[in-house]
Amino acid sequence: MAKTPKTITAVRKLLRARANADSYFSRQGFTRGNTKSTQNLKGQYNGSQSPNLQQAPPMPSLANSPSLSSNFSQEAIYAEQEPKKFLNEKYAKCSVKGNFLTLAAQPKNVELGEWLAHQLVEMNRLLTSMILVIQEVDTNTGMALCNEAGCPTMSAGRLTYTWLENGRPAKIPAPSYIVRVQRWIVGKIHDEKVFPTEPPSSISSAGYAPGDTSSTPSSATTPIPAGPTNLNQSLTSLAGIQDEWVGKSSGFPQNFLQDVKSIIKQMFRCYAHLYHCHWDHPFWHINRHLDLNSCFVHFITVAMYYDLLPRKDMEPLQGLIDIFVAQGIVPREAVQQHSI
């Protein structure tokens, strides 16, 4: 089944619309088929959103957002850490049931670049719903739960993430860091040069080769006008072929895959801070820890399945990831595909 330019344009405009705050909490767009497990996952995701999250204000984008990918660094802080409750296996459960691969695997007739763009918008929606939890104002203090006094740095265990200011790494409060990351991501999504909403003119005569949700992402096929491509190549190697890159046939720029990886890295840092500094309060105390786990498992499944996050960057939450893998919550296919 070929995709028409009209269809692709509609899909992209839908992705763009979902990047706005007023559509963060409305699951729509690509469907994963009418499987029971998929519908169960989607339905429970919807049910896990609390009503007070529906009024999220629009998130403004940062100026010159494409250049901000260089504004992040990290440094290690070696200090004794108390055992974290979220690393207890009995708490490593999710609010939704089912195989998360059904949400991560590339569906048939959807080009890989389009699918990764969709996943980024969806994962940003889920992450935002969790960040809003720590941005709630405590009526006793009049401050947000994550505030400059309680979180003077963007820390995650023994790591402190820094923001480059004037070429130098600077420790900034976690609330400021998170807001900058959110604005940077939204700026990327709304940048026509990074996430174009119109398909390239050449797409009018091209159809997408069908993919298969049961296959690995490296075997998903896309139109390659320059000639045959080794179907066993990874995303990184495919992106490195001269004049070819992930998303080219859909009009995405040559550095699209690198932008995807940069966004994934910053999303992970936000999750790392949520777990290390806010799992007990507020997530555990208001019984939202299962929702946090569900959002993170979806995120890390996509990141590992498409090889988008280096192992060294996963260190702050590696123990939790290992638990999810051992319990089979993170699909084995994602583990097998994760090589970097």
Neighbours of 1 (CB within 10 A): 8
How many domains is the chain built from? Answer: 1
Q: Is residue 167 domain-resident?
A: no
Among the ranges 29-33, 34-38, 279-283, which has the highest mean pLDDT value? 279-283
Mean model confidence pLDDT for the chain: 75
Contact residues for 337 (Cβ-Cβ < 8 A; gap 6+): 216, 217, 218, 304, 305, 306, 307
**In this structure, what are the phi and psi dihedrals at residue 85, rounded to the nearest 5 degrees?**
-65, -30
Question: Residue 75: helix, strand or coil by DSSP?
Answer: strand
Residue 278 annotated as binding site:
yes
Rounded average pLDDT over 325-337: 92
In angstroms, rounded to a whole number, what is the distance separating the alpha carbons of residues 90 and 148? 32
In this structure, is residue 110 part of a structural domain? yes
Answer whether residue 128 is part of any domain. yes
Can you give the pLDDT at residue 322?
96
> Above 50 in pLDDT, residue 53?
no
- 156 in any annotated domain: no
- The pLDDT tens digits for 204-262 are 444 443 334 444 454 443 333 333 434 344 555 545 555 788 888 888 999 999 999 99
Structure tokens at 40: 């169960």
The predicted model scores a pTM of 0.71
107 belongs to a structural domain: yes
Three-class secondary structure assignment of 302-338: HHHHCCCCCHHHHHHHHHHHHHHHHCCCCCHHHHHHC
By DSSP bridging, strand 72-76 and strand 159-165 are: antiparallel
What range defines the domain where residue 88 resides?
Answer: 5-56+83-136+177-337
User: Hey, what's the torsion of the CAs at 114, 116, 119, 120, to 10 degrees?
Assistant: -110
3 state SS of 155: strand
Annotated ligand binding at 146? The verdict is yes
CATH of the domain at 296: 1.20.140.30
Neighbours of 117 (CB within 10 A): 25
Q: Which residues contact 214 (CB under 8 A, 6 or more apart)?
A: 105
Q: Tell me which amino acid residue 115 is.
A: W
Residue 277 lies in a domain: yes
The H or E element containing residue 107 is none
In a domain, 64, yes or no: no
